[in-house]
Amino acid sequence: MTPPEITDSHCHLDFPDFEGQLDTFIENAAAVGVTRMVTICTKLKNEPNVRAIAEAHAPVFYAAGTHPMSAASEPLASVDELVTLSRHGKFVGIGETGLDYHYTADSADIQQQSLRIHIAAARQTGLPLIIHARAADNDMAQILSEEYQNGAYTCVMHCFSSTQALAYTALDLGFYLSMSGIAAFPKSQELRDIFASAPIDRILIETDAPYLAPPPYRGKRNQPAYVAHTAQKGAEIFGLGYAEFAAQTQKNFDRLFSKAAAYKVSA
């Protein structure tokens, strides 16, 4: 029986963990119904490599931006640079960008500047912003809200594991929450409760591979195929059958990542 189709909305296939084995990992994903993956470029100097992966593999789309933890050590992106990159047919999102004060609070100012540049690019291109938020909930909520007042844009809170307050701010702005393997960790009940209180039409699933593998693979190298385990947990959280939850997250992905959905239709 063919498994329901699902999408890994956020992974890092250019990382060394997958070097020389991408065909195998993409085949593993296909075997469990993962028909699309969005691989994320976290430093713009690596964009050509990430683009090449998307060009070489039919199920793979990509996004690019400057990760907040690299905001101080990488050249500041420009709106024009991001807009130019976005013209590629398989470029489907802006980021990941955001704020991370857990390890890199000393670069908060440059992170905020970088974030606002990425928001402007998302607004201009119409592509979804991909947000990384860690230990910076108040500033994140304030900037996302302020910028939305300056002009609407779409957004996903990638690997959401922040507070209920930030979740509600994002949802009130029409944004999406993406569920990673963290939602399946035994001690993540508070996070599961946040997801359960969210509208189901605003939920995506992802691996963030090679990080954050869900049980029973926790602590091992994550891969796109394992998003099926997160989807199973998501189905439980929302009290749905696996196929119904998978279908809903596909609709959600297609709505937010409309360029990827259109590419699939026209390919």
Any idea what the CATH number is for the domain that residue 157 is in?
3.20.20.140
Alpha helices in 9-77 (DSSP H): 22-31, 47-56
- Condensed to tens digits (0 to 9), the pLDDT of residues 91-126 reads 999 999 999 999 999 999 999 999 999 999 999 999
Q: Are 57 and 35 in contact (CB under 8 A)?
A: no
- Map residue 150 onto helix, strand or coil: helix
- Condensed to tens digits (0 to 9), the pLDDT of residues 232-245 reads 999 999 999 999 99
Backbone angles phi, psi at 258, to 5 degrees: -65, -30
pLDDT at 264: 65
pLDDT at 209: 98
Q: What number of H helices and E strands is found in the chain? A: 11, 8
- Condensed to tens digits (0 to 9), the pLDDT of residues 205-239 reads 999 999 999 999 999 999 999 999 999 999 999 99
The answer to the question of residue 162 being in a domain is yes
Tell me how many degrees the CA angle 147-192-141 measures, rounded to the nearest 5: 15
- Condensed to tens digits (0 to 9), the pLDDT of residues 62-74 reads 999 999 999 999 9
CA-CA distance, 181 to 192, in Å (whole number)? 11
The answer to the question of residue 1 being in a domain is no
Q: Are 152 and 129 in contact (CB under 8 A)?
A: no
Q: Are 114 and 66 in contact (CB under 8 A)?
A: yes
Number of domains in the chain: 1
pLDDT band at 1 (very low <50, low <70, confident <90, very high): confident
pLDDT at 108: 98
Single-letter residue type at 75? P
Instruction: For residue 120, give its domain range.
Output: 6-266
CA-CA distance, 183 to 180, in Å (whole number)? 6
**Low-confidence winner among 45-54, 130-139, 164-173, 257-266 (lowest mean pLDDT):** 257-266
